Structure 1
Amino acid sequence: MGLWEALAILAAGVGAGAINAVVGSGTLLTFPVLLALGYPPVTATISNSVGLAPGALSGALGYRRELAGQRPRLLRLGAMSALGAVTGGTLLLVLPATVFMAVVPALIVGACLLIVFQPRLQGWVRSRRPSSSNGGRLLPLGIYGAGTYGGYFAAAQGIVLLGLLGTALDEDLQRVNALKNALTFVVNATAAVFYIVLASPVWSVVALIALGSIAGGYLGARFGRRLRPEVLRLLVVVIGLTAAGQLIVDLLTGTG
């Protein structure tokens, strides 16, 4: 690996860590860089997932104030996230490498629609259940699905989680974002252990992404905590649609 390649991966890691802390979809920075440098898709996905785990922890710690009082919820949903991550990791190793390039755009667009209509959906859900902190019986299943998605291909799992949590929970968006960051760490860390044991990440790539994502996660958390909910929601949608568009272009041109 040359110097410029290493700097490109490091810079992508910083950007991915920052975006993951604020919204999610940081993989849409690192993954294309790794592909452009010649790494096979599955190898790039595995190395990226392992490398982003420390940055996810950095982002979660940056939101620790907003996590106050959410420990029971985090433990309950975190278990489902871990189980989903193992499921997703298994799918990645079993299914053909090109499959996720076809299904991920639809998942991202669906998550963006959840974010756009979140205020109305949240009002609808709130009017049909008492004010509650558990999100209902279906939320754990949704979190399991998001964990499966994150373990399979990490891009925009934060957007999916924000859509689910923001709709189901009677909480401020920043507290929802803090919970999203914590669950993202659970997924990334679980997937990282899974891939270390059963696959072969490229450790030089892992180290560069990890260093960059730690710095980016810290900076992103400090910046993201100051955003107004309306701005954060707009940022989610813009990044999500951009991510979906990029994956569609890659699929149509055959570069994925």
Structure 2
Amino acid sequence: MTPGEMLAVFGAGAGAGAVNAVVGSGTLITFPVLLATGLPPVTATVSNGLGLVPGSISAIIGYREELKGQGRRVLLLGTGAVLGGLTGAVLLLTLPASAFERIVPALVGIALVLVACQPLIAARVRRRRREGGSAHRDGGPLLFTGLTLASVYGGYFSAAQGIIYVSLMGMLLDETLQRLNAVKNVLAAVVNTVAAVLFLFFADFDWTAVLLIAAGSALGGLVGARTGRRFSPAVLRTLIVSVGTLALVHLVLH
């Protein structure tokens, strides 16, 4: 890897860490850069997953205030993230790269619609609670199952996984978007870490790429969290939908 390529990978890692902390889809920044350095697709995916772990952790630190009072929820949903992330990582190592090509754009598209409609969905959840409906404080089996399946995808590739997380939680939880974003960062970190542990033992990766992305994403995650926490719900939602739309276009065209 040339010095110029190393600088590009570090910069992509920083950008991905910042975007992941606020929205998700940071993989769409790092993955093409890694491919441009000559890494094979699976090696690039594995190296990217390993490198983004520090960025996920720094994003959690940046959003620690929004995580207060959500310990039980994080523990419950994190269990599903462990199972899903491990499954997705195994699939990455065993299935052809084209396995999810058709379903991924559909998942991202549906997630974007749900994020855009989150205020209406949240209002309906609140109304159901007032009327004594069956809305569950932590989303119930439906949310657990949905996030576990989303974590399977996250362990496999991870592009736009954060958007899918936020959309599902926004549909089933009566919480502010910033608090949902904080939980999203934890789930992404869990999936990335579980997948990383598996990759360390069973996959080929490039240590130079991993270390450069790790350094960049750790810095970017802190900056992204510090900036993202200041956004109003409307601005944050608009940013999520905008970045997600770009991700969707990228996935469809490639």
TM-score by length of 1: 0.94
Supply the AA of the counterpart residue of 2:94.
V
In 2, distance between residues paired with 1:69 and 1:124?
Answer: 23
Instruction: State the shift of 1:132 in Å.
Output: 4.8
CA RMSD of aligned residues (A): 1.3
In 2, distance between residues paired with 1:143 and 1:126?
Answer: 21
CA contact (8 A) 2:121 2:170 kept: no
Task: Name the counterpart of 2:181.
Answer: 177
2:60 matches 1:46: no
Deviations 1:28-72 (A, max 9, x none): 000111112221111111110010011000001100011001111
2:177 matches 1:167: no
In 2, distance between residues paired with 1:183 and 1:11?
Answer: 24
Supply the AA of the counterpart residue of 2:239.
L
Instruction: State the shift of 1:120 in Å.
Output: 1.8
CA contact (8 A) 1:108 1:244 kept: yes
In 2, distance between residues paired with 1:181 and 1:193?
Answer: 18
2:231 matches 1:227: yes
Supply the AA of the counterpart residue of 1:40.
P
Identity of aligned residues (%): 53
In 2, distance between residues paired with 1:57 and 1:107?
Answer: 25
Task: Name the counterpart of 2:112.
Answer: 112
- Secondary structure of 1:138 counterpart: helix
| Structure 1 gap segments, 5+ residues each | 251-256
Quick one: which of 150, 170, 174 aligns to 1:146?
Answer: 150
In 2, distance between residues paired with 1:121 and 1:166?
Answer: 7
In 1, distance between residues paired with 2:68 and 2:48?
Answer: 30
2:23 matches 1:23: yes
In 2, distance between residues paired with 1:71 and 1:176?
Answer: 13
Task: Name the counterpart of 2:210.
Answer: 206
Deviations 1:104-132 (A, max 9, x none): 22221111111011122223333333665
Supply the AA of the counterpart residue of 2:44.
A
Task: Name the counterpart of 1:121.
Answer: 121
Instruction: State the shift of 1:102 in Å.
Output: 3.4
- Secondary structure of 2:169 counterpart: helix
Report the number of matched residues: 250
CA contact (8 A) 2:125 2:135 kept: no
Q: Which moved more, 1:37-46 or 1:228-237?
A: 37-46
Q: Which moved more, 1:31-40 or 1:11-20?
A: 31-40
TM-score by length of 2: 0.95
In 2, distance between residues paired with 1:4 and 1:138?
Answer: 47
Q: Which moved more, 1:219-228 or 1:105-114?
A: 105-114
Task: Name the counterpart of 1:253.
Answer: none
| Structure 2 gap segments, 5+ residues each | none
